[in-house]
Chain A
Amino acid sequence: MRMPRDIIAYLQAAPLMAVLLTFLIAPILMIVVVSFWGATEFSIYPAFQFDNYAFLFGSPVTYKVFFATFKYAFITWGFTLAIGFTVAYFLAFHVRTQMMQTVLFLLCTIPFLTSNIIRMISWIPFLGRNGIANQTLISWGIIDEPLEWLLYSDFSVILAFVHLYTLFMVVPIFNTMVRIDKSFVEAAYDNGASGFQTLWHVIVPLTKPGIMIGSIFVITLVMGDFITVRFMSGSQKANVGRLISNDISLLQYPSAAATAVVLLITVLLVIGILLRFVNIRKEL
């Protein structure tokens, strides 16, 4: 017995489809459904009402927190891009042997074998009021008083973000860069381009897909994060992730779901805008 070809194709795609339906589509649908539910102080009940959204968009806190989320995402993106591009450029163009490239690349990834939380928390004794950074600066005579803004501030939050997520920028950019034919660099040089002109007119355009993939990683990670903001700001700063986690801890699931839906749409919009600039499909 022979089955029609299109049925075979559907069957072959079915296992992946089942996984995605169960673990991606269904939960998201659930969140969307719950976001329209109602809640009292002690219970939640199925409903179809816009109270959660009305409250969310009516509160000035929402706008402040979304603004803070964008601010973290944008500043972190800027730093991770600058550092990530530089590191990838060094690895791809200045390290001669492939052996050394691999060794240095692995060296970059070693800190990532420990957990996010541990790497984050290890900044605390370093940046604290009587931490190593402040003590060193005082002993050098650069400052008289300990710097208060080193820890539990936007500075420490962004520092931790950059530390945690730079590798997500290095990997895709490096991956794109090593595939750039070295003869392009020679051709640019032959045509009279300076080192900087070669970088700007040849290497950056050819690295764009990698930059885009790295940017999507970093932006989605930072926008969805809540634990880094909580730890590194000593609970003094907020982003959307913390808004959601607070609602959950108060068992306000419908309100948390509504915030999550808005955040999801925001992040998708940002990625949509990024993808309009560069066709990353040829990278994948």
Chain B
Amino acid sequence: MTDGCDLELINLTKKYGDALAVDQINARFDAGKYVCLLGPSGCGKSSTLRMIAGHEAVTGGSVVLDGFDVSHLPPAKRGTAMMFQNYALFPHLTVRDNVAFSLRMKGENKSSRHAIANELLELVDMTALADRLPSQLSGGQQQRVALARALVTKPKVLLLDEPLSALDPFLRIRMRAELKKLQRELGITFIHVTHGQDEALALGDELVVMNNAVIEQSGPAREVWSAPKTEFVARFMGGHNVITLGGTKVALRADDVTFGKTGLAATITSVEYQGNHVALTTRTEAGDEVLALLADTTFFDTPKNPGDAVLLAWDEGRLHRLQA
């Protein structure tokens, strides 16, 4: 079902000279979804986001928003707004003037633009600090102001370029909850670029995993996690083992591995206690590294040590054949 504000990328391509940054990617995002663009650095996720935003010219293909090809429109005319990685708050303007910046550019008078800015500051809970300068704010506060500034243009799609990477780990988890809550309240599409799979899983309704300028896999977060299509996705999302069985590669979740009476022979190389479970790294005779996550009670019933020989077992139904 679409209500018209969906975003579509058609054969989107970006080249820097001869270097291919984004290679003919196709994707479609329904309105009101939280989408995470995920991948290692240099995979083309930021270039994709910047092409959607209009800060990078498209080399080929198009960005279609709400049924219109916006590929050659300036950023402010697209119905998108971008939140920058370092927030890019104007250091010479107060919080309120930062939020009201786009209204000022449109020629809105002072009282009405301040009124609108105050509303948005209310939304992000920053009313009390409206007269401060950005340098007097903490990272989390700066991020909220940047959000308010992006939202003041009433975008259909909000683009976030690694918005949490500048924060410390504790704040990162808090701000990601706030982002998700805000997205639910506003009901607009968020496209969030990140290189952290935990962040993507926590936030994304849809995940798009990119590698080497192409989309490796896209779909609902749970589907991408539980059924990786390629070896890259399985390894990048983590928590999976990639094993070669009978000449083909298969993915197996680490928490599906058990030690049995029969199975694949392997030697334990390390044991790591992680609280609610224990991570055992093993090496098979073929040289594959297999990680087994055992519940702590299961492990301590029959403790193992590095060097012990074990037989790895699993439920056949849990294996996923990977595309070559």
Contacts and interface: CB of A to CB of B under 8 A. Distances in A.
Nearest to B161: A183
Contacts of A188: 90, 101, 105
A194 B153 CA distance: 15
A190 B55 contact: yes
A46 interface: no
A219 B55 CA distance: 40
Interface stretch (A18-26, A121-129, A198-206): A198-206
A281 to B, nearest CB: 14
B153 A191 contact: yes
Nearest to B104: A201
Interface string B103-114: 011100000000
Nearest to B84: A183
B86 A206 contact: no
B91 interface: yes
Contacts of B102: 191-193
Given A183-B84, A186-B55, A186-B84, A191 B101 contact: yes
Interface in A101-134: none
Given A181-B86, A183-B84, A201-B105, A190 B92 contact: no
Given A189-B75, A192-B106, A206 B101 contact: no
A190 B105 contact: no
Interface string A241-266: 00000000000000000000000000
Contacts of B105: 188, 191-194, 197, 201
A29 interface: no
B88 A183 contact: yes
Interface string A199-237: 001100110000000000000000000000000000000
B76 A189 contact: yes
B53 interface: yes
Interface residues of A, number: 17
B268 interface: no
A191 B149 CA distance: 8
Contacts, number: 59
B74 interface: yes
A204 to B, nearest CB: 10
Nearest to B55: A186
A202 B88 CA distance: 11
A187 interface: yes
A263 B88 CA distance: 44
B81 interface: yes
A201 B88 CA distance: 14
A183 B54 CA distance: 13
A184 interface: yes
A187 B102 CA distance: 10
- Using C-beta atoms within 8 Å of the partner chain, give the interface range for chain B: 20 to 34
A186 B92 contact: no
B65 to A, nearest CB: 15
Contacts of A205: 92
B82 interface: yes
Contacts of A181: 86, 88
A190 B88 CA distance: 11
A183 B86 contact: yes
B92 A206 contact: yes
Contacts of B85: 183
A193 B211 CA distance: 34
B67 to A, nearest CB: 22
A193 B89 CA distance: 14
| B84, B85, B153 interface centre (most CB from chain A within 10 Å) | B84
A192 B90 contact: no
Contacts of B82: 186-187, 190
Contacts of A193: 76, 101-102, 105
A202 B104 CA distance: 12
Contact of A184 (B54, B90, B153): B90
Contacts of B74: 189
B11 to A, nearest CB: 25
Contacts of B53: 190
A194 B91 CA distance: 19
B88 A184 contact: yes
B90 to A, nearest CB: 6
A160 B10 CA distance: 59
Nearest to A197: B105
Interface in B52-104: 53-55, 74-76, 81-82, 84-86, 88-92, 101-102, 104
B88 A192 contact: no
B106 to A, nearest CB: 6
A187 B84 contact: yes
A190 B104 contact: no
Contacts of A184: 88, 90
A187 B81 CA distance: 9
13 contacts: A187-B82, A187-B84, A188-B90, A189-B75, A189-B76, A190-B54, A190-B76, A191-B102, A191-B105, A192-B76, A192-B102, A205-B92, A206-B92
Interface of A: 181, 183-184, 186-194, 197, 201-202, 205-206
Interface of B: 53-55, 74-76, 81-82, 84-86, 88-92, 101-102, 104-106, 149-150, 153
Given A191-B76, A206-B92, 15 more contacts: A183-B84, A183-B85, A187-B82, A187-B88, A189-B74, A189-B76, A190-B54, A190-B76, A191-B102, A191-B105, A191-B153, A192-B75, A192-B102, A192-B106, A206-B91
